[in-house]
Amino acid sequence: MRKKSTKNTLIEMKRRGERIVALTSYDYLSTRIIDETGVDLILVGDSLGMVVLGYENTLPVTVEEIIHHLKAVSRAKPRAVLTGDMPFMSYQASVEDAVRNAGRLVKEGGAESVKIEGGERYVPVVKAIVNASIPVMGHLGLTPQSLYEFGGYKVQGKDAESAERLYRDALSLEEAGCFAIVLEGIPWQLAERITKGVGIPTIGIGAGPHCDGQVLVINDMLGIHDKPLPRFVKKYEEIGQRMKLAIQDYVEEVRGGVFPGMDQSYSAGKEKKADE
């Protein structure tokens, strides 16, 4: 039986050159299924806002919403490291806010670590959360909470100056105590440089093949979406299409009087079926 994974497991995996697999999850049953596959890290991401709650972007997501879904996910007792995303404005206004909200994700939601977006300017926040004994995962590059600062979802670090800034950001997050860094939407060359330059694992999403690991939003890789997907997503299934076909069959059978039939019906007689 696989041992419970911790942040140290992931750091060891980088040392051994083993690739790390991460995936988002937002509910109990999906988490059970994901965890059975041996994924190393499960993230209750603020992508929750877009793929579950129907928001335009991740900015409206609240601490309460993340905690609500963290609770469902943590009830599945995953072997994977469980990370909760710190939503927009839960850590930007003050270090005290950040520590208190990170504490809520652990204490109320059952998270084992938290993720925050941003580089050097969040070093005091990372240090304070780590000082409160809560492991922190960093997140650099196309960080969706900075949507308005970037002027849209644009690949970051394409020119030499911004690439250098992101490289320094990565070094400062490691120095501040992060146990891993998500690299999102950056050129693969920069992701490779950062991966070689830091001792903690890098987890890529739209950052090419040279990171120590990979994360995807589960809805995207399963094909449950209503918007065009970025090119970095690989769809492993078309579950959305398959759901629609199955539900159309159900609609037709109910309307046509085919379902329910006698096989799905209880009888007043003595002969009992297994579940009566």
Catalytic pick among 65, 112, 174, 184: 184
Based on CB atoms, which residue is closest to ligand KIV, 215 or 221?
215
Ramachandran category for residue 118: left, alpha or beta (phi over 0 → left; psi -120 to 50 → alpha):
left
Whole-angstrom distance, CA of residue 161 vs CA of residue 224: 37
Structure tokens at 136: 């922190």
> Is there a catalytic annotation at residue 184?
yes
What lies within 8 Å, CB to CB, of 172 at 6+ separation is 119, 120, 123
Structure tokens at 226: 């209503």
Distance of closest approach, residue 220 Cβ to ligand KIV, in angstroms: 9
Task: Please tell me whether residue 212 binds ligand KIV under the rule CB under 6 A.
Answer: no
Structure tokens at 182: 């998500």
Longest dimension (CA), the chain: 80
Distance of closest approach, residue 162 Cβ to ligand KIV, in angstroms: 20
Sign of CA dihedral 65, 39, 220, 194: positive
Site residues (CB under 6 A) for ligand KIV, limited to 69-98: 85
Instruction: Identify whether the C-beta of residue 147 lies closer than 8 Å to the C-beta of residue 170.
Output: no
Based on CB atoms, which residue is closest to ligand KIV, 116 or 134?
116
Q: What are phi and psi of 229, to 5 degrees?
A: -95, 150
Task: Please tell me whether residue 24 binds ligand KIV under the rule CB under 6 A.
Answer: yes
What lies within 8 Å, CB to CB, of 156 at 6+ separation is 140, 141, 142, 150, 162, 166, 185, 186
Site residues (CB under 6 A) for ligand KIV, limited to 170-189: 182
Residues binding ligand KIV: number (CB under 6 A): 10
Task: Please tell me whether residue 217 binds ligand KIV under the rule CB under 6 A.
Answer: yes
Based on CB atoms, which residue is closest to ligand KIV, 47 or 101?
47
Distance of closest approach, residue 61 Cβ to ligand KIV, in angstroms: 9
Based on CB atoms, which residue is closest to ligand KIV, 96 or 226?
226
What lies within 8 Å, CB to CB, of 14 at 6+ separation is 20, 199, 200, 201, 212
Spell out, one character per residue from 33 to 72, where the chain touches ligand KIV: x when CB under 6 A holds, - when not: ----------x-xxx-------------------------
Distance of closest approach, residue 134 Cβ to ligand KIV, in angstroms: 17
Based on CB atoms, which residue is closest to ligand KIV, 46 or 169?
46
Task: Please tell me whether residue 215 binds ligand KIV under the rule CB under 6 A.
Answer: yes
Distance of closest approach, residue 247 Cβ to ligand KIV, in angstroms: 26
Q: What are phi and psi of 213, to 5 degrees?
A: -155, -175
Structure tokens at 98: 């950040």
The set of catalytic residues is 184
Residues engaged in binding ligand KIV (CB under 6 A) = 24, 43, 45-47, 85, 182, 205, 215, 217
